[in-house]
Amino acid sequence: MMTVLFGSVEYFENELTAYLANEEVNHVTTNQKLEFIFSTIKEEIAYSFICSETFRKECLENLRKAYSRVSDSKYVVR
């Protein structure tokens, strides 16, 4: 089993896909769920997470990349 480091693209990709797999909200689309968790994580990193500004920017960029990967994947219904 490969270790995924916090803040990496793979870490955020795992977080997003786990939320999509576990969240059972039937009145919203998969795209809406993905948008919600992306926004939630982004806000936490930007305003609640205590770290250096360099690491914060790296995390936000990696989150954006993970969001793009997941939104282009089989998890999201178009």
Helix axes 30-43, 9-22, angle to 10 degrees: 130
Condensed to tens digits (0 to 9), the pLDDT of residues 8-57 reads: 999 999 999 999 888 676 688 888 999 999 999 999 999 999 999 999 99
48-70: pLDDT as tens digits: 999 999 999 999 999 999 999 99
Domain spans of the chain, in order of start: 9-20+27-71
Distance CA 7, CA 33 (A): 21
Interatomic CA distance for residues 45 and 12, integer angstroms: 12
